[in-house]
Structure 1
Amino acid sequence: MQDADIPVRISVLGPFSVDLANGNCATPKGAKNQALIALLALSPDMTRPRRWLEDKLWSTFGPEQASANLRQALSKLRKSLEPYETALSADRTTVSLNPSMVSVDLLAGALPADDRIELLEGMDARDPEFEEWLRMERMELQTRLARAKPSEAKGVLIACRTKTSSDDPTAHLIGDVLANRIGENVAEQVRAWRQASDQDDPMAQAPVSDISIQCDLLQDGSGQAVFLKAVHQPSARILYSKLHQVNRLGDVLETSEDIAKVIFEAADTIVGKLPQVLDKSRPETRATALSRLAIYRMFSFERNGLREAYGLMKQAHELDENGIYLAWLGMVRLIQLMELLEADPQALREEAIAFNQVAMEQGADNALVQAIVSQVRGAAQRDAQGAFDLAEIALERNAASAFAWQSFAEANMAAGRQDIAFAASQRARRIARTSPFRHWWDLGHCLISIACNRPLEALEAGEAAARAAPSSRPAHRNLLALYALDGQLDKAREVAAKLEKIEPGFSLDRIVNDENYPVRTLRKNGLLDPIRALL
């Protein structure tokens, strides 16, 4: 059938519309009805299960009401499509559009000439599940637009500079080291290059940098102060700025804990803002945005969140073949494996190991890659020595990385060096205290504290993890056991009730008696028995 013969034409680029071959406009009234057509139009084979559609449009309703709402919407849509109502069909399980009768501008290969044209512009079905679906579809469109403009990921250019009123060359060196360490931490997370400056002819022939990281050393009454500022050069937007007291300049060379906090915070803030300021046609811009969102979804520990994280991180690597994205993919698979979220754990293990191997090939000199691979290797491959070697190298390369300190803590824990593990985990947690993902380190410290038989420290870290990530199932599982151990049975019951809401299939009997339930550290350290008081 030629395109001209197709009776129903759906436009999803820009404002949503449905037009018929007889010249009539069939765009249905009501956001839910429009959203229903859009969901089908952009689905594989234009078909979806009824229950899936109900979850996307009426997720806050009970099953019976959601089913009734869908039936009512389908009745209205059939009427709006007359005389081509057979383009829409439904049976007891599925709803479909007929691809031979329906064309969709986006599926037909059309792409907006203007990047500002939005998918389903202005559509608001007022359901969180639909909004999440729409956000993902818009992201996929941006990926297609980026691919339609092929370009090589050349990397973000970072100029690291220092300024000091002191004539002491050591002070200038210290500032240079600090600025460069922030730039190096950024370059671990995205493809980036640091620019060197010539003192006699600073940046004379060099291309204009994307980001300038400047460290100003100031003398004050109590000693030294450092003013750090990161600026997006083309727009002069300030991405990060902070005045920090330095007890002694040697702290910078030794990467003291306070200095590590500043470096980690500055780099994390800069990376988080890069997608907002860099040209969106650049592969590294898109890859950074995708990977950042993927990490948010990964650290939710939810089945769908992890699946989404996998897809996002895979897209990031397709745009920019950077080993860090493969390392994160290995971590996604490890979390799915440890949380028992998928049907084939052996396949997850094998895929995590495969990602590790290629990540190390593509990011052999990247301390963040080494830290993540260390954690995956230790847990998925049971290679304690290999994990320790990588963690040690990662820490030597970057003592300001909370990820490196956490991998070092886990590697020492596996080797039975509890005191070293506990101290390293504490340090990792303090360095990452401003991170939007700080619950990752809180949870890690909770587990290490449990393994070290330090229940009070474990309880404090577990509570912090649950506050930062209220839907974190691992954090709540540990809190349940720790509250029961501490005799706080009322709080333990509250946590159990919370788990029943956020974890399908949870029960007290399962956490205590199911050997496969993902509470290995609690079980190994005998902390599940106190929960029996709640049964």
Structure 2
Amino acid sequence: MTDEPVLTVQLTGPFRVTGPGGQDRTPKSRKAQALLALLATSPNLRRTRSWLQDKLWSQSDAAHGSASLRQSLSSLRRSLGEHARVLDATRQDVGLDSDLVCVLWKEADSESTGEFLEGLDIADPEFGNWIRFMRRGSKSHSQMPVLADQFSSRWKVALMLDQSGGQSPLLQSFADMISRVLREQGELELTEHVDDNSVDRLVTVTIGLISGTENAPALRLVAHDPNLNRQVWSRTLPASPGGQSDQPDIALLGVAFQLQSELTRYLAQSRNLIGTDACPPLVLGAAIPRIFSFQPEEMNQAAHMLSDAMDSKNAAQFLGWQAQIAVINLIEQFTDAPEACVERGKMLAAKAIEMDPMNSVVLSTAANAQVLLERGNAAAGADLAKLAVKVNPANPLAWWAFANVAIYAGKTEDALRSARVASRLAARTPLQFWCEFQLGLAAFKAGDIVTAKRALETSACLAPQFRPPRRYLLAIYADLRDFEKAESILAQLKELEPGFSLDHFVNDPLYPISLAREKNMLTWDKFQDLKIIG
């Protein structure tokens, strides 16, 4: 192998790839061109497969994205011909041989002012975000590798109080609440300096009082990306909190969590700004949706992401979420070694608590792990769940964990009340389906079938691939003799669960529908009139 580059990749002006003799080796496929450009602009000319999939096939599921990436790699190899050896692909990542590839960030003609990757626009929102950012940076930097290094730290959030209408204790109190919620999440760095040098990674959140309905005071929150001059999120709500002064209003708590969720979503969509996949602002935002997919492949990816990022300041949360993965693997019977899964989950939960015992996310995931890995031992996680709510009452996961403990402890009213709080806090956020499911379970346990059915139907509607609510809906519909809906749910479960059968559903004591089994709802006479028998 020669030390001389065999391929030259030109990034400014029209994208082109040339061989050692100047012959054109530019792939004809635009996705293959984009793939090569992403690699050529990456640190060490290498990216993980999941990162590439997220940039070029962000609207596809993991399986289709993976297949599309393999197809584009094959197309790229064919275009490179005898020089295909410059491309190195493993099961985890894809890269270019830096000894064989020369990347030109400027056109050979120094007088030229061509645009970065001129004309290379792909119909994918994530690639669009990435290329717009790179084009902005290219206007003020002669070499983009410097730009990549510049954005290796975390995004920052500046909380600003608009006190033009006068100072308000409520305004300051609400700002303190939001500060606590964002700081605990750990993915954002709070700052007071809006003129920070890292302005491309800054989001401002302005909190002020305005005249609302019938001139009543209202709180107004606006999150803004100053670099893109883009409003990220906004919300207006009545300024007068209900309840006792030492008990924050649920609406205010909910808005604080909605803000956190929306900022996390925005950063996850803007993850192309960061030079590494394991950067703290990105890991949780990318891993948690994979965990809640309840798909083994997606959860394995999440586990790898969390494990790879263990040197970050969010290590305790990463451990807690890995414990949650162990819970799902056990309950969903994704593991062929249940005893080892239980021991690993309990170990992860204990280690997470040891590292950060005053973070409500850590406390919540650890509480769930201890209760569910012990097959419903409520005492195991009761203190952790109670402390999670106390530490951060704006975290719906804390109330979820508290409701979970109450369900298994037989405290049905406490479970239902806590699940309602979790549901209200999670409204309009990606966790709504998860909290609606818990509300459904709590209502089911309390014998409120009307509320249970409504909440479970909402959860199933919000998450078409989420199996747990559909299991309870099948039992409820069959018990109510609503066979049309029962047959529809049965067909969905047969599609979502490989090997699903009613015999397994009714007779397997480990099948995850224990609350219905407690109520003696899983008997053959409930299902014998179904037209679709699985």
Contact 2:475 2:516 in 1 (8 A): yes
Deviation at 1:151, TM superposition (A): 9.1
Partner of 1:413: 407
* Match 1:267 to one of 255, 260, 263: 260
In 2, the alpha carbon distance for the partners of 1:275 and 1:58 equals 19
* Match 1:399 to one of 379, 383, 393: 393
Aligned-partner SS, 2:305: helix
Superposition pairs of residues 285-364 of structure 1, within 5 angstroms = 286-318=279-311, 321-364=314-357
Partner of 1:465: 459
Contact 2:403 2:414 in 1 (8 A): yes
Contact 2:159 2:207 in 1 (8 A): no
Aligned-partner SS, 1:528: coil
In 2, the alpha carbon distance for the partners of 1:10 and 1:204 equals 40
Deviation at 1:470, TM superposition (A): 0.9
- Structure 1 residues not aligned, in runs of 5+: 45-54, 61-69, 89-96, 125-130, 139-144, 197-202
In 2, the alpha carbon distance for the partners of 1:216 and 1:405 equals 28
Deviations 1:476-495 (A, max 9, x none): 22211111111111111111
Partner of 1:65: none
Change beyond 3 A, Cα 1:298–1:78: closer
* Match 1:182 to one of 178, 190, 198: 178
* Match 1:512 to one of 485, 506, 509: 506
Aligned-partner SS, 2:357: coil
Deviation at 1:34, TM superposition (A): 11
Partner of 1:435: 429
- Structure 2 residues not aligned, in runs of 5+: 37-45, 50-62, 106-114, 132-144
Aligned-partner SS, 2:173: helix
Aligned-partner SS, 1:288: helix
In 2, the alpha carbon distance for the partners of 1:98 and 1:427 equals 50
Contact 2:158 2:194 in 1 (8 A): no
Superposition pairs of residues 43-62 of structure 1, within 5 angstroms = none
In 2, the alpha carbon distance for the partners of 1:312 and 1:30 equals 30
Aligned-partner SS, 1:478: helix
Deviation at 1:407, TM superposition (A): 0.9
Deviations 1:117-163 (A, max 9, x none): 99xx8899xxxxxx9xx99xx9xxxxxx99x9599856735435352
Partner of 1:474: 468
Change beyond 3 A, Cα 1:461–1:42: same
* Match 1:502 to one of 492, 496, 501: 496
Deviation at 1:391, TM superposition (A): 1.2
Change beyond 3 A, Cα 1:322–1:28: closer
In 2, the alpha carbon distance for the partners of 1:413 and 1:479 equals 18
* Match 2:237 to one of 224, 244, 267: 244
Contact 2:151 2:273 in 1 (8 A): no
Deviation at 1:358, TM superposition (A): 2.9
In 1, the alpha carbon distance for the partners of 2:355 and 2:506 equals 43
In 1, the alpha carbon distance for the partners of 2:261 and 2:223 equals 12
Change beyond 3 A, Cα 1:310–1:112: farther
Deviation at 1:11, TM superposition (A): 8.9
Partner of 2:159: 159
- Equivalent residues, number: 467
Change beyond 3 A, Cα 1:504–1:208: closer
Deviation at 1:460, TM superposition (A): 1.0
CA RMSD of aligned residues (A): 4.9
Deviation at 1:452, TM superposition (A): 2.4
